[in-house]
Amino acid sequence: MTTNKFYNAIFAAGITLILACLMIGVKLDTSGTQLAVKGATTAQWTWIGGGIAIVFLSQLFTNQIDALFRMIPKPSISTMLPEEKKMATLKPWLIAGAIVIMVIWPFMVSRGSVDLATLTLIYIMLGLGLNIVVGLAGLLDLGFVAFYAVGAYTYALLSQYFGLSFWVCLPISAGMAALFGFVLGFPVLRLRGDYLAIVTLGFGEIIRILLNNWTEVTGGPSGISGIAKPTLFGLEFTRKAKGGEDAMTFHEYFNLDYSSSYKVIFLYLIAILLVCFVIYVINRLMRMPIGRAWEALREDEIACRSLGLNRTAIKLSAFTLGASTAGFAGAFFSARQGFISPESFIFIESAIILAIVVLGGMGSQYGIILAAIVMTILPELAREFSEYRMLLFGLLMVLMMRWRPDGLIPTKRPHLELKQQ
Amino acid sequence: MSQLLLDVNGLTMRFGGLVAVNGVNLKVKNRQIVSVIGPNGAGKTTVFNCLSGFYIPTEGSVMLKNKQIAGLKDYQISRKGLVRTFQHVRLFQKMTVIENMLVAQHRHLNTNLISGLFKTPNYRRLEQEAMDHAVHWLKEVDLLEFANREAGNLSYGQQRRLEIARCMVTQPELLMLDEPAAGLNPNETKQLDELIIKLRDEHEISILLIEHDMSLVMGISDHIYVIAQGTPLANGTADEIKNNPDVIKAYLGEE
Amino acid sequence: MSEFSLYLLQQLINGLTIGSTYALIAIGYTMVYGIIGMINFAHGEIYMIGSYITFIVIAGLMSMGIVSLPIILIIALVVAMFMASTYGWAVERVAYRPLRGTNRLIPLISAIGMSIFLQNAVGISQGFRDVALPPMVTGGWALGNPADFEVTISYMQVIIFAVTFVTMTLLTLFISKSRMGRACRACAEDLGMTNLLGINTNKVIALTFIIGAALAAIAGLLLGLYYGVVNPFVGFIAGLKAFTAAVLGGIGSIPGAVLGGLILGVTEAMTAAFFPSEYKDVVAFGLLITILLFRPSGLLGKPEIEKV
Interface test with A, best of C40, C116, C124 (most A CBs within 10 A): C116
Same domain, B185 and B223: yes
DSSP type of residue C306: P
Residues of C in contact with B87 (CB under 8 A): 308
pLDDT at A148 over 80: yes
Separation CA C240–CA C246 (nearest Å): 10
**Structural domain count, chain C:** 1
Maximum mean pLDDT: which of A17-31, B160-174, C88-102: B160-174
Separation CA A91–CA A87 (nearest Å): 6
The total of other beta-carbon atoms located within 10 Å of residue B247's CB is: 21
- The full 3-state SS of chain A, as one line of letters, equals CHHHHHHHHHHHHHHHHHHHHHHHHEEEECCCCCCEEEECCHHHHHHHHHHHHHHHHHHHCHHHHHHHHHHCCCCCHHHHCCCHHHHHHHHHHHHHHHHHHHHHHHHCCCHHHHHHHHHHHHHHHHHHHHHHHHHHCCCCCCCHHHHHHHHHHHHHHHHHHHCCCHHHHHHHHHHHHHHHHHHHHHHHCCCCHHHHHHHHHHHHHHHHHHHHHCHHHHCHHHCEECCCCCCECCEECCCCCCCCCCCCEHHHHCCCCCCHHHHHHHHHHHHHHHHHHHHHHHHHHHHCHHHHHHHHHHHCHHHHHHCCCCHHHHHHHHHHHHHHHHHHHHHHHHHHHCEECHHHHCHHHHHHHHHHHHHCCCCCHHHHHHHHHHHHHHHHHCHHHHHHHHHHHHHHHHHHHHHCCCCCCCCCCCCCCCCCC
Distance from CA of B254 to the nearest CA of A (A): 39
**C306 inside domain:** no
Domain C-terminal end among B171, B200, B226: B171
**C111 inside domain:** yes
Sorting pLDDT into bands at 50, 70 and 90, what band is C117? very high
Give B120's strand partners.
Answer: none
Q: Regarding predicted confidence, which is higher, A415 or C7?
A: C7
DSSP-derived 3-state class of residue B22 = strand
pLDDT at C77 over 80: yes
What is the per-residue DSSP string for B96-142? BHHHHHHHHTGGGS---HHHHHHT-HHHHHHHHHHHHHHHHHHHHTT
Sorting pLDDT into bands at 50, 70 and 90, what band is C160? very high
Query: Given this model, what pLDDT does residue A367 score?
Result: 86
Separation CA C171–CA C193 (nearest Å): 24
pLDDT tens-place string over residues B69-124:
988 888 999 999 999 999 888 999 889 999 999 999 988 887 778 888 888 888 88
Query: Given this model, what pLDDT does residue C307 score?
Result: 59
Q: Regarding predicted confidence, which is higher, C28 or A44?
A: C28
Query: Given this model, what pLDDT does residue B1 score?
Result: 46
Residues of C in contact with B86 (CB under 8 A): 308
Sorting pLDDT into bands at 50, 70 and 90, what band is A242? low
pLDDT tens-place string over residues A355-384:
888 888 776 788 888 889 888 887 777 777
Domain C-terminal end among B114, B144, B171: B171
Domain region containing B66 = 1-81+173-255
- CA A140 distance to own-chain centroid: 14
Maximum mean pLDDT: which of A235-244, A377-386, B65-74, C62-71: B65-74
CB B97 within 8 A of CB B143: yes
Sorting pLDDT into bands at 50, 70 and 90, what band is A107? confident
Query: Given this model, what pLDDT does residue C144 score?
Result: 66
Q: Which residues of chain B are at the C interface, by a Cβ-Cβ cutoff of 8 Å?
A: 15, 45, 49, 54, 86-87
pLDDT tens-place string over residues B188-199:
899 899 999 999
Same domain, B189 and B224: yes
Separation CA C273–CA C264 (nearest Å): 14
The total of other beta-carbon atoms located within 10 Å of residue A402's CB is: 18
Handedness of CA C281, C283, C287, C289 (dihedral sign): positive
Find the CB nearest B75 among A309, A413, A415.
A309
Separation CA A277–CA A269 (nearest Å): 12
Separation CA A421–CA C162 (nearest Å): 79
pLDDT tens-place string over residues C177-204:
888 888 888 888 888 888 888 888 888 8
DSSP-derived 3-state class of residue C244 = helix
Query: Given this model, what pLDDT does residue C146 score?
Result: 60
Separation CA C177–CA C243 (nearest Å): 27
pLDDT at A312 over 60: yes
Sorting pLDDT into bands at 50, 70 and 90, what band is B135? very high
Alpha helices in C228-253 (DSSP H): 234-249
A246: exposed, middle or buried (Cβ count in 10 Å: 0-12, 13-18, 19+): exposed
Write out the H or E segment, with its range, that includes residue B231. Answer: strand B231-236
pLDDT at C89 over 80: yes
Query: Given this model, what pLDDT does residue C304 score?
Result: 65
Domain of C152, CATH number, reads 1.10.3470
**A306 contacts B91? CB cut-off 8 A:** no
**C6 inside domain:** no
Residue-averaged pLDDT of chain B: 88
Query: Given this model, what pLDDT does residue C145 score?
Result: 64
Domain region containing C256 = 12-294
pLDDT at C305 over 70: no
**A138 contacts C105? CB cut-off 8 A:** yes
Separation CA B77–CA C225 (nearest Å): 59
Residues of B in contact with A361 (CB under 8 A): none
Separation CA B21–CA B8 (nearest Å): 13
Is C206 in the A-facing interface, judged by CB distances under 8 Å?
no
Question: Number of H helices and number of E strands within chain B?
Answer: 10, 10
Question: Any residues with CB less than 8 A from the CB of A372 and at least 6 apart, and which?
Answer: A120, A123, A124, A126, A127, A356, A360
Measured CA distances, C9 to B252, C226, C281 (Å): 68, 19, 21
Q: Note which residues in 233-272 of chain C have CB less than 8 A from chain A.
A: 236-237, 240, 243-244, 247
**ipTM exceeding cut-off 0.90 for this assembly:** no
Find the CB nearest A413 among B109, B128, B150.
B150
Measured CA distances, B100 to A295, B57, B105, B144 (Å): 10, 30, 9, 13
Query: Given this model, what pLDDT does residue A121 score?
Result: 94
Q: Note which residues in 39-98 of chain A have CB less than 8 A from chain C.
A: none
Same domain, B141 and B254: no
Handedness of CA B122, B124, B128, B134 (dihedral sign): positive
DSSP-derived 3-state class of residue C305 = coil
Sorting pLDDT into bands at 50, 70 and 90, what band is C91? very high
CB A167 within 8 A of CB A156: no
- CA A330 distance to own-chain centroid: 12
Separation CA B171–CA A167 (nearest Å): 47
CB B146 within 8 A of CB B154: yes
pLDDT at A317 over 90: yes
Residue-averaged pLDDT of chain C: 87
**C167 inside domain:** yes
Of C283, C220, C217, C262, whose CA–CA distance to C14 is shortest? Answer: C262
**B45 contacts C306? CB cut-off 8 A:** no
**B49 contacts C308? CB cut-off 8 A:** yes
Query: Given this model, what pLDDT does residue C1 score?
Result: 59
Give the length of chain A.
Answer: 421
Query: Given this model, what pLDDT does residue C44 score?
Result: 94
**C305 contacts B54? CB cut-off 8 A:** no
pLDDT at A419 over 70: no
Least-confidence region, from B197-206, C57-66, C138-147: C138-147
Q: A247 in the Ramachandran plot: left (φ > 0), alpha (ψ -120 to 50) or beta? A: beta
Helix axes B97-104, A289-299, angle to 10 degrees: 110
Distance from CA of B100 to the nearest CA of C (A): 19
Of A82, A103, A100, whose CA–CA distance to A91 is shortest? Answer: A82
Least-confidence region, from A366-375, C18-27, C272-281: C272-281
Same domain, B94 and B147: yes
Q: Regarding predicted confidence, which is higher, A106 or A407?
A: A106
Handedness of CA B195, B200, B205, B210 (dihedral sign): positive
**B54 contacts C306? CB cut-off 8 A:** yes
Domain C-terminal end among B171, B189, B220: B171
Is C291 in the A-facing interface, judged by CB distances under 8 Å?
no
Same domain, B222 and B150: no
Separation CA A353–CA A340 (nearest Å): 18
Type of residue at A81: L
C136: exposed, middle or buried (Cβ count in 10 Å: 0-12, 13-18, 19+): middle
**C289 contacts A202? CB cut-off 8 A:** yes
**Structural domain count, chain B:** 2
Sorting pLDDT into bands at 50, 70 and 90, what band is B254? low
**Main-chain dihedrals φ then ψ at residue B184, nearest 5 degrees:** -95, 150
Query: Given this model, what pLDDT does residue C167 score?
Result: 92
pLDDT tens-place string over residues A29-88:
776 667 777 777 777 788 888 888 888 888 778 777 777 777 766 655 545 555 556 666
Domain of B154, CATH number, reads 3.40.50.300
CB A185 within 8 A of CB A146: no
Closest chain C residue by Cα to residue B45? C308
